[in-house]
Structure 1
Amino acid sequence: MDEQEFMRGRVYGADHEDASPQPGRVYAELVGGPLDGLLLDVTLPPGQELPGEVALPTELGAYGAGGRALYAVAGQGRLRWKGDAP
């Protein structure tokens, strides 16, 4: 199993021991880019909406440590990669 297969279906930002989706939470799949295949917890309080774009800290992008991967809402439970930022 390669690293990409290992990461698929795991929750971004979760501890390695408990990176599985949790009951009662809402997740969006990250599509493309350095975080491809991970799930992002997008559970929000009632009345709040997900912003159109999120910047997720990652060491895996073009800028290495301290960089961010930019993802935009793509509909149907997905966020699509738009690029990397310092």
Structure 2
Amino acid sequence: MDETEFMKGRVYGADHEDASPRPGRVYAELVGGPLDGLLLDVTDGPPRPAAGSVVLPTEIGRHGPGGRALYAPRALDPSRFDWQGDIP
């Protein structure tokens, strides 16, 4: 199983040993970019800058360790967040 397949359906930021979705929580799927296929817990609303996007730290983006990936919710499907790019 490659890294992409391993990550699908797992929760972003969760412990690697227990990264399955939890009952009673609400998740959005991250689409594209380095976090493609991961689920983002949006139960309490993700922390967002004014523009409505989320900035998620990641070790596997274009900028490597210390980099961040930018995702924004789809206008017609807020259960999916599309990748907007990587930032240092």
TM-score of the alignment, normalized to the shorter chain, above 0.5: yes
Q: Judging changes above 3 Å, is the alpha-carbon distance between structure 1 residues 54 and 76 closer, same or farther for their aligned structure 2 residues?
A: closer
Superposition misfits of 4+ residues, deviation over 6 angstroms: none
Structure 2 distance, partners of 1:26, 1:71, is: 17
User: TM-score, normalised to structure 2's length?
Assistant: 0.88
- 1:61 lines up with 2:61 in the alignment: yes
Partner of 2:70: 70
Structure 1 residues 6 and 50: alpha-carbon distance in aligned structure 2, compared to 1, 3 A threshold: same
Q: Deviations over 1:46-77 (max 9, x none)?
A: xx687410000001111111100000011240
Question: How high is the sequence identity, in percent, across the aligned residues?
Answer: 72
* Structure 2 partner of 1:79: 81
User: CA–CA distance in 1 between the matches of 2:79 and 2:67?
Assistant: 24
The TM-score with structure 1 as length reference comes to 0.90
Counterpart Cα distance in 1 of 2:18 and 2:59: 20
Gaps of 5+ in 1: none
Aligned to 2:36: 36
CA RMSD in angstroms, aligned pairs only = 1.5
What is the DSSP-based 3-state SS (H/G/I as helix, E as strand, rest coil) of the residue aligned with 1:80? strand
Measured in 2, the distance between the counterparts of 1:3 and 1:39 equals 15
Number of matched residues?
Answer: 83
- What amino acid maps onto 2:79 in structure 1? G
